[in-house]
A and B are shown apart, each in its own frame.
Chain A
Amino acid sequence: MTQAPTPPSTPNTDLVLVERTLAGDQKAYELLVMKYQRRIERLIGRMVRDVDLVEDIAQETFIRAYRALGQFRGEAQFYTWLYRIAVNTAKKTLVDLRRDPLVTESAMKAADDDDETSAVENELTSPDTPETVLAAKEIALTVNQAMEALPEELRQAVMLREIEGLSYEEIAEVMSCPIGTVRSRIFRAREAISARIRPLLAHQAGKRW
């Protein structure tokens, strides 16, 4: 399994959202949570097997990050900072659980491995239930089908952005078009894909797996 590409960095947006949160705008923090929830859950899922525990630790991670947000100086990327909090929270939870004689060994996994890119380990210790696996596959399949159905210029624009991590300016150079066109193409590509996955997300929202 190849290593997942690094997501495009958007430090300024994260920093602005952090600053707005510190200024009292809680909705700005919720935007950060929406953005990083899946990655944080995947990270925790490599350390903990219990799917409910994964969500609990993710919740605790974001609460702890919220409390400590004033300490985030923007010197590192927000996700890097959040990553450390998630790992520490998961480790602490596992230590607490080991003290609990009622928790079976199968609910936990060694917390020593906090390497986000250990794909093999991830496959062996996936916290997903059959339902979540099915839903994830369905969403992934739908996204890929929607990508294939896109016009070439839209697909290329969104691929250069999401997979290659290029800036709008760099994409404009590659595609020989204005930046405004790049922005519009990426937006239209996303809207087309969103239209396909929206029913799945709506179904997911009404159901707790």
Chain B
Amino acid sequence: MNKMNTHELVSALADGQLADEELSGGIVALGQDLAAREAWQAYHLIGDVLRSPELAGGSPTPAFMRRLSERLAAESPHGLPAAPVAEPQAPPRVLTVRPANDPVFRWKLVAGLASMTAAAAVGWSLLSSGPAATPMGSQLAGTEAGGGAVMIRDAQLDELLAAHQRLGGPGVLQTPAPFVRQANFEGAGR
């Protein structure tokens, strides 16, 4: 085959008459050479006009191409792995909502006084009760240990417990009650 210049290559490419190797070469030339691209445009325009004169009209190709190129640039290119789109990381949520009474100083004052009063009351009760106010747990522990400790009994409480034992009887239904009869399900009809 004769060696063709670039435009002749473009002409044959426009006709789809190039072999594989030349085809690639022609496309590469079109990608690099502006004059070759203009020739590509002109050759197709000539063919269109020869077939149908009305195709001479329409939008001017350079303006159309400029606009389209801008839009294509915004598209993700084919053949390339799509760039991982970083998910917008939501900033850690900071609770910025302040209590409704936060700006009111007297609420803080009252809360502080209440805390101090409560602490003082607890402290006062501990100090004023002395050794006699030892918790029940420690009394019991001391009794069970049998270490000679005297168990403090409440006479009224003992009396109440005794009355319960006398009147309460055994636990509910733990022993056969007089109103409960045993039933036999092995009747004749069964």
Contact = CB atoms under 8 A, between A and B. Distances in A.
Interface of A: 4-5, 7-14, 16-17, 20-31, 33-35, 37-39, 41-42, 45, 54-55, 58-59, 62-63, 66-67, 69-70, 122, 128, 132-133, 135-140, 143, 147, 158-159, 161-163, 167-168, 180, 183-184, 186-187, 190-191, 193-194, 197-198, 201, 204-205, 207-209
Given A37-B64, A133-B57, A10 B14 contact: yes
Interface of B: 1-2, 4, 7-8, 11-18, 23-24, 27, 30-31, 37, 39-65, 67-69, 71-72, 75, 77-80
Task: Report the 5 A-B pairs with minimum CB-CB distance, sorted nearest first.
Answer: A10-B16, A24-B79, A136-B57, A4-B52, A140-B53
29 contacts: A8-B15, A10-B14, A14-B16, A22-B78, A24-B78, A29-B72, A31-B37, A34-B61, A38-B55, A54-B59, A63-B68, A132-B58, A133-B57, A135-B56, A136-B58, A137-B56, A138-B56, A140-B53, A143-B50, A167-B17, A168-B15, A183-B8, A183-B12, A184-B2, A186-B11, A194-B42, A194-B46, A205-B62, A209-B60
Contact of A9 (B16, B18, B52, B72): B16
A139 B27 contact: no
| Interface SS, A side | helix
